[in-house]
Amino acid sequence: MKVERDEEKKREREGIYGGTTLRTAVIVQARSLWPIHRVWEMLLSCTFVNPTVVRDGPTVAQCRRREPSVAAPIRPGESVLAALRCSRAGHEAVGLCAPETTEGGGKGFAERLRLGRLEEDGLSYKENFIVRCYEVGINKTATVETIANLLQEVGCNHAQSVGFSTDGFATTTTMRELRLIWVTSRMHIEIYKYPAWGDVVEIETWCQGEGRIGTRRDWILKDLATGLVIGRATSKWVMMNQDTRKLQRVSDEVKEEYLVFCPQTPRLAFPEEENDSLKKITKLKDPADYSRLGLVPRRADFDMNQHVNNVTYIGWVLESMPQEIIDTHELQTITLDYRRECQHDDMVDSLTSSESEEILLAERTNGYPSKQQHGHGSDHLQFLHFLRLSGTGLEINRGRTIWRKLIR
């Protein structure tokens, strides 16, 4: 034991432990019975360089030695977390080192641990997510609500990464001064392959102008292990006054604040002509084939804009789907038009009917469609949806879903 301890002390003096990971440090501490403060000293001597992430997969984070800086102290707790992230290599290395920080500036602690980054041109943002056990449904794959929540999360993280506010969904300085917020007017999601529990999904997002009163945000989802496109989505957002709850035109001042972070030439997640995201949704005629009446918002359904979050409407729409379709099919495409806010004391009716006419659906390979005729007798089914206030019958939301045969 004494010989082994002397040998490891010698190796330390020669600097072999520069760039040591937390895992190695703990092993060394356990084997040699070093005092714990010696391990801290070793960890504090490492500073972590900015991560470089390639599209084909994660890389191993690197460390370099430096003398501790008085102007930029590293707190022990941060060192442990950063070192732990550095210790994961190979295919496990989806978590990368946090960049350096300086006192009074730099990135926030949460942002340094987040698995996201702006692309080199600064016009789009990518982030990796691990599918958790509580995010999957009965098929052990992520639910569409999980996908929608991740889209919203990566969009907000993109906005924060370029300096927009954290007290609203991507509000600029001018918007906060004028009490303006963004609200969803349309959401279109297509899932070609649902990620399973434990899969890592890479989501890329970007935004761009959309007319005088709105903006557009698009997403592309990939399986990080294979690089294949497993989904795409697009959305339209309009500006609303937070106090009057009335829509407002996007001013030139607001455009100047956010368009600098948008592609100068249009970039669309669905560049194909006559793609499903552009189709008008016909209003469902009453009586509906299926219904679920008297749905009530939960407190957890409300977001920071003081209304029911847009993802909740997806769940309400699916509540009136017939169980025999849920058992034999999986959701491929969902399109929702948001017409009215829902407040805490509202009751909601969910109506669903099968859409009778034949439709053109896409047989997709790696996210790109080739058109093929399908009808209700095929493996694909299409439904219209309508959400209304129970008391007045006023329209809240209308939607369309497309379902493919479930392969077990």
- Known catalytic residues are 305, 307, 342
Cis amide prior to 287 (ω within 30 degrees): yes
Query: How far from 168 is each of 179, 192, 242, 361, 393, CA to CA, in Å?
Result: 10, 31, 11, 37, 30
Tokens 């082994």: give the residue: 4
Contact 158, 145 (CB under 8 A): no
If phi > 0 it is left, if psi is from -120 to 50 it is alpha, else beta; for residue 138 that is alpha
**Continuous H helices in 320-356:** 323-328
Residues paired with residue 130 on neighbouring β-strands, in sequence order: 200
End-to-end CA distance of the chain: 57
Contact 80, 25 (CB under 8 A): no
Q: What does the block give as tokens for 240?
A: 């609303």
> For the chain, what's the residue count?
408
Residue 153: closest CA among 341, 300, 303: 303
> What is the dihedral sign for C-alpha 101, 106, 110, 111?
negative
CA R_g for the chain: 25
3-class DSSP state of 150: helix
Residue 183: closest CA among 168, 173, 172: 168
d(CA 161, CA 388): 37
Amino acid identity of 290? Y
Tokens 């493919």: give the residue: 404
